Each structure stands twice: as structure tokens, then as C-alpha cells.
Amino acid sequence: MSDYTMTIGGQAVTSDGTFGVVNPATGQVFAQAPECSRAQLDVAMDAAVRAFRPWSRDVGRRKQALLACAEAIKARLGELAPVLTQEQGKPLAKASEELIGAAVWFQYTASLDLPVEVLQDDDKVRLEVRRRPYGVVGAITPWNFPVLLAVWKIAPALLAGNTVVVKPSPYTPLSTLALGEVLREALPPGVLNVVSGSDQLGAWITSHPAVRKISFTGSVATGKKVAAAAAPDLKRMTLELGGNDAAIVLDDADPRQVAEKLFWGAFSNTGQICSAIKRLYVHERIAPAVIDALAGVARGVTVGDGMQPGSQLGPLNNAPQFERVIELVDDAKNAGGKIVTGGAPLGGGGYFYPPTLVTDVAEGVRLVDEEQFGPALPILTYRDVDDAVERANGTMFGLSGSVWSASPERAAEVAGQLECGTAWVNQHLAIVPNAPFGGAKWSGIGVENGPWGLLGFTELQTVNIAKA
Ligand code: NAD
């Protein structure tokens, strides 16, 4: 029997099958989640289809419902945060921040409007361009920010008038199931359905005929499968995929001033952020000082069980990801890489790996070329800024990037040359609800957040009214 229930048609639903959820701080299964059957997915889709027309008619009611969702999350924060920490690994304070972020995103989204453009209005014709919802949105999320990334989809999809069937990662299903339970009172039945299961359930969603729009966040490899599954039915899609963000530190940056921010830009959430710094390019003149300052920050960080007060970084979320980080760092060592800090797992049963800085590596080494999605940062040097930009852009990833300098103007000019969806100056990971977030090249199609993200859950409708 599962400890958590799915939300289908506004009801709490269990299932015949369950699967274990591991606490990454111990490596042990600590709870069971429902394994949604194909028949249950059909019931969820049916509920979403039936809820669509009444829900799509009244935007004022939808705004009120979104505000109620924000309040419901805030009211139940104390219950939700430990669930998120236990299944994801992040420190409890960070789990609370993620949940507060989810509430903020609901509130912000409720303040947006669906634009109606009037192209002509005279005694003969009124010509309008409106935005219509798609119908049922299939939302699929990864395990690094399970609640926040689900809300990035749920809030704008609902405001636009769609209904939603959401599926979290099998590594972190519980906080999304709990979110569904918390939001049952705030939303009419069928408007938000939460189902849990394996990757196969994701494939059933992307090929389900009821789904008209897929909103997917995850890896590039899965994103390509999602795109292929959407094609035969011409489903619309937004894909938020992986990244291999470069940060470029210019020769005039102050190493001590930038080190702390660079560190957290790379290692927040134990490096498991799509748009974390994953390659650091430092001008050769200041590289020794930057490496020293970064190592100082890394040595002072406490890695531990997220439920323990004082832990700043939790474990990696799951065994395959843990193995992958070990493999990539070992490969870098074999390729001549020098380990400045960290470099081996911490042991103790959980998936703990310390913040690891690696120098003496270059393009062609897997840790540089691939998305590590963990606490291991390759540090590369350059002499000429053009060369750094070319190397930063020399990848099929294009999520975000940053440039660091004593002169924000100079850095902004370089940042504009980065082939990516978000370019930061003297900061990294500053993600806000009102600006678009998305990837260039293989890092995605479409954007989330802000009015642009909202419009991604709508299609245009021209309404041409003959008056005479
Ligand atoms: P993943 O691609 O393995 O899984 C993501 C989701 O897709 C999970 O819910 C999974 O069950 C589901 N899935 C798996 N196979 C599927 C299929 N064939 N059809 C449909 N759904 C399927 O990714 P992950 O390991 O959970 O997450 C890490 C990745 O996500 C990293 O690459 C990271 O960069 C990326 N990410 C991107 C963003 C962004 O906004 N761009 C944000 C967070 C994470």
C-alpha cells in the first residue's frame, strides 16, 4: 500500500502496484508511491477532458484559484518540506525555499492577463487576435526541483484555461503527489491530475490522444524521445532540457569578490541544476587566484543529510547520477586532470560527493563536454576573450551562461555573444518569474515564465466580426 495518493478527477486514488522511493541520504527505500496503470491514466485524461470546457470559460475564477493554490502551499509548507528533503536530498531550508518559490510563482502567474489585440474596429469590422487554451496539457518533470518545476507548468497552463495531467520523476514522486493533495481543495475536480509511475508512464502521456500540449523538463536524450512521440499527433510542445553552462571570468575580475558567487552558481543543489555553471573559463592571469579562492569556499561547505541542521549541500539524488559523477571525475583524472578539492565519494551509505574542483582539463574530456549534473566543476583557462567565447559556444547545449568582470558593461558585451537562452553578468542562476527562461540549440524549444511562458500554453485565434 502506498503512503501517498494520486489525484485523479479531484479524488485521492491508490493503485494496485507501488514502487519504492529512496532517501538519497541513506540509500534506503523509505516510502512507496503508486504505480499508475494505463487504465488509471485514461481515467485521469478523461477527467481532464471533461473539466476543460467549464474551466476555460472564466479567467477571473482561474486567477482566484491560482491565488488559493499559493495560500494552500504556504499553509502546508511544514508538511511538504520534509517530504521534499527526504526524497530529493536537499537541505530542509532549501526545500522550504523551493516551496515558497512555488507559491510565489502561483501568485505571480495570477497577476498575468491573456492579451486580446484589436487590429481593426470600425463601423464595418472588428478584427481581434485572441489566445485560446489547447485543452489537456501533459506535464512531465525531473527530480532536481520537483515541486517548483511542476508549478512552472501547472500555474500558467491553468491560467491560460487548460487542464493538466502531471507526472513527476520516479525518483521524486512524493512531493508532487503531496502537492496534488494540498491543491485538491483549491481547484475544481479534474483541472489538475497528478499521477506517478516509471518512465513508461511518461511515454504513455506523450502518446495519449487526449493530450494537446506537452510541457517537458528533463534531459536532452528524453526530450528528443518526447519530440518524436509528439510528432505523429502534431502535439504542441515546450521542451526545457539540459545545459552545459559556461561562466567566463574576465581578466579584470577580483578573484575574492567573485569566488563565493561562482561557487554557488556551480554547486547549489549539489550541482543538480539545469542552468548551473558546468564549465568555468578563467583568464590565465588570474586563474591561480580564482582557483585558490574557490577552493577556500569549497573546503568550508558542510555536506550532509538534508534533515540535519547545518547541512549546506545534500547528497546526489539517485544512484545512477552518483555513479555518473564518480565516473566523470575518474575519467578526468585519467585524462590528466588535477583534483583541487573533493574527487571521491564521501561514503557513509548515502550518495554523498564533496564539491570537486578539477583543473588541467580541456575540451575533449567528458567532464567538460558532457552535462555532469553534479558537484564537479572543470576549470579551464584562456588568454583571449574571443577564444573563450568560441569555446563556450562550441557545444550543442545552449541553456544559459555568465560573464564576470569589474566592468558590467564590458561583461554584458561579451555575454551578448553567448549562444544561450539566458546570459548573466556577475551572477548566475538568477531566475525570476517575470522573465522568459529557455534554451537555445539542444537545450530546449520554447520558454517558461513571464508572459512569454504563459503564451506557450495558448494558441492564436483570429476573430473577425462583420458588423454590417
Ligand atoms: P530525464 O529526462 O531522465 O527524466 C525527466 C522526466 O521524463 C521524468 O519524469 C521521467 O520519468 C520522464 N521520462 C523518461 N523517459 C520518458 C519518455 N520516453 N517519455 C516521456 N517521459 C519520459 O531527466 P532527469 O534525469 O529526471 O533530470 C535531469 C535533466 O533535466 C538534466 O539534463 C537537467 O539539465 C534537465 N533539467 C532541465 C531544466 C530546464 O529548465 N531546462 C530544469 C531542470 C532539469
Rounded Cα distance between 217 and 264, Å, is 22
- Please give the CATH topology (third level) of the domain spanning 245-432: Aldehyde Dehydrogenase; Chain A, domain 2 (3.40.309)
Per-residue confidence (pLDDT) for residue 2, from 0 to 100? 72
Measured in Å, residue 120 CA sits from the centre of ligand 1 at 44
Query: What are the distances in angstroms from CA 292 to CA 259, 267, 340?
Result: 9, 16, 9
Measured in Å, residue 297 CA sits from the centre of ligand 1 at 30
Mutate to test the pocket of ligand 1, among 151, 201, 217, 420 (most ligand atoms within 8 A of CB): 217
Beta strands 356-359 and 338-341: pairing type?
antiparallel
- Overall pTM surpassing 0.95 (yes/no): yes
CATH 3.40.50.150 given to domain 6-241+442-466:
no
Quick one: cell of 460? Answer: 492564436
Rounded Cα distance between 262 and 258, Å, is 6
- Residues enclosing ligand 1, CB less than 6 A? 140-144, 149, 167, 169-170, 199, 202-203, 206, 217-219, 222, 225-226, 240-243, 274, 371, 373, 399, 439, 444
Beta bridge partners of 18: 34
Output the DSSP codes for 298-318: HHTPPB--TTSTT-SB---SS
Mutate to test the pocket of ligand 1, among 274, 324, 429 (most ligand atoms within 8 A of CB): 274
The H or E element that residue 119 is part of is strand 117-121
Per-residue confidence (pLDDT) for residue 151, from 0 to 100? 99
Per-residue pLDDT of 280-317, as tens digits, reads 999 999 999 999 999 999 999 999 999 999 999 999 99
Per-residue confidence (pLDDT) for residue 1, from 0 to 100? 62
Task: Report the Cα–Cα distance between both ends of the chain, in Å, rounded.
Answer: 65
Q: Are 391 and 380 in contact (CB under 8 A)?
A: yes
Is residue 446 classed as helix, strand or coil in its secondary structure?
Answer: coil
Residues in the chain: 468
Cα–chain center distance at 226: 16
**Which residue's CA is the nearest one to ligand 1's atom 17?**
203
Measured in Å, residue 417 CA sits from the centre of ligand 1 at 28
Query: Counting beta carbons within 10 angstroms of the beta carbon of residue 355, is it exposed (0 to 12), middle (13 to 18) or buried (19 or more)?
Result: buried
Q: Which atom of ligand 1 is nearest to the CA of 221?
A: 2
Does the fold of domain 245-432 match that of domain 6-241+442-466?
A: no
pLDDT along the chain (468 residues), means of 10: 90 97 98 98 98 98 98 98 98 98 98 97 98 98 98 99 99 98 98 98 98 98 98 98 98 98 98 98 98 98 98 98 98 98 95 98 98 98 98 98 98 98 98 98 98 98 96
Beta bridge partners of 462: 129
Per-residue confidence (pLDDT) for residue 347, from 0 to 100? 87
**Per-domain residue ranges of the chain:** 6-241+442-466, 245-432
Measured in Å, residue 362 CA sits from the centre of ligand 1 at 27
